[in-house]
Amino acid sequence: MSDQVAQFVPDPYLIKQTAPVQELKLDEKFKNMRILTPIGRLSYANLIQPKPVEAGKPPIYSATLLMHPQACAQLWAAICMVADERWPNETVPNPQQLGTFMQVRGAHLLQLTKEQGGIHNPLRLGDQIWAKDPKKYGAYRGLYVLNMGIAATNKAGASQQPPIFNEEGKKVSPDIAYSGCYARAYITLFAFPAPGKQIPNRGIGVMLNSIQFAKHGEKLAGYDAEGAASAAFAAAGPLPVEAPADPGFGPNFGGGFVQPGAPGGAPGGPAAWPQQAPQGPAPQAQPQYPQQGQPQQPPAGYPPQGQPQYPQQPQQPAQYPQQPPQGQPQYQGQPQYPGQPQQLGGPAGWPQQ
């Protein structure tokens, strides 16, 4: 761990980024806020085909944005404004004196754990995620992490796929925004649950409205299921090939096959098979009896007789009901998102309680 910390080098492109110039203003009706994020690096970009976060959940479009802390002051201020509006006066235990309580606002709740009465803080420390798996989350080191998402469709069933824009602000294909590229997002910060609703969790959510591509970057690889399976099969080696079983009879049983008329062998039989001479008197010819339902030819010398005609029954092909092909559901692989560790402290500049 110490070697990995010593070798850490901040992303030089993200260090140069600053907060965008914009006015922070709450929506008068919904009490949420639409803002533009600073330029960051996309991770877990799922912007082409919506996928559920977990089994049984509705599909969503989503992405994670990794940003340098010095560019996030305005974003943090906007999160606190939405939290203060939703929770202007909350009573929580006073950690400084057991058995007493204190009155705080939403911005303070963002810095507390769930056990302390805190709420979900969408702006998380990348170092906490990196520490769980340095190899997997190497790009998160020293940055702030923001998860963004939006439902695949609205209540009317219309698609809500976030539009993607290029550097010039023109709408382009969504495949330009991949995990590892640099981009900024237009988001909506909202408090959950809404007033009057009760759910187990509460906090600030981030709805993804659109993304603007800024610069190409090294791709961040997620779990490659196809590649992992291919490597596993290659390491195991080829499948064993079994020789066909010898049935114990046939033209090759007991020796090589000799072509009909070949020297040293009976016509049409193996050379190794002994030829048996007929034993005893010649077999007597067996009388031929007429078969049931079939006319017999008279012996030679007799006048021909009329052949009985049997009616031919038309053959009706069997009629089977045709079943329409049933479509098979296509299941998508599920993306793996990082956990949601609670942050004990907010970004730099906010007091620790």
What would the pLDDT profile of 300-324 be if each residue is shown by its tens digit? Answer: 554 555 554 544 544 544 444 444 4
CATH number of this structure's domain 2-223, picked from the four choices 3.50.50.60, 2.60.120.200, 2.40.50.140, 2.60.40.10: 2.40.50.140
pLDDT digits (tens, 9 = 90+) for 247-262: 665 555 555 554 555 5
Residue 64 has pLDDT above 90, yes or no: yes
**What does the pLDDT average to over 319-331?**
42
How far is the C-alpha of 110 from the C-alpha of 178, rounded, in Å? 30
Q: What is the pLDDT of residue 279?
A: 56
Residue recorded with tokens 């079943």 = 323
Q: What is the pLDDT averaged over residues 259-275?
A: 51
More confident: 139 or 272: 139
Question: Is the pLDDT assigned to residue 148 strictly greater than 90?
Answer: yes
pLDDT at 330 over 50: no
**Contact present, 145 and 126 (Cβ < 8 Å):** yes
Section 186-213 average pLDDT: 94
**Secondary-structure breakdown of the chain: helix, strand, coil percentages, each rounded to the nearest 5:** 15, 20, 65
Mean pLDDT computed over 222-228: 59
State mean pLDDT over 104-112. 96
Q: Where are the domains of the chain?
A: 2-223
For 24, the enclosing helix (H) or strand (E) is: none
pLDDT at 126 (0 to 100): 97
According to DSSP H, which parts of 42-161 are helical?
73-86, 106-109, 126-132
The 3-class SS string of 120-156 reads: ECCEEEHHHHHHHCCCCCHHHCCCEEEEEEEECECCC
Please indicate, yes or no, whether the overall pTM of this predicted structure exceeds 0.85.
Answer: no
Least confident of 44-58, 72-86, 197-211, 272-286: 272-286
For residue 130, give both structure tokens: 């990196």
CA distance 124 to 72: 11
User: Shortest CA distance to 176 belongs to which of 165, 168, 187, 192?
Assistant: 165
Task: Write the pLDDT tens digit of every residue in 8-55.
Answer: 888 999 999 999 989 999 999 999 999 999 999 999 999 999 999 888
pLDDT of the residue at 266: 47
Tell how strand 203-215 and strand 164-165 pair up. Answer: parallel
Percentage of the chain exceeding pLDDT 70: 65
Q: Exposed, middle or buried by CB within 10 Å (0-12, 13-18, 19+), for 75?
A: buried
pLDDT at 350 over 80: no
Which tokens in the block code for residue 181?
A: 């590229």
40 versus 330: which is more confidently predicted? 40
pLDDT-derived band of residue 221, with 50, 70 and 90 as boundaries?
Answer: confident
Could you tell me whether strands 123-125 and 203-215 are parallel, antiparallel, or unpaired per DSSP bridges? Answer: unpaired
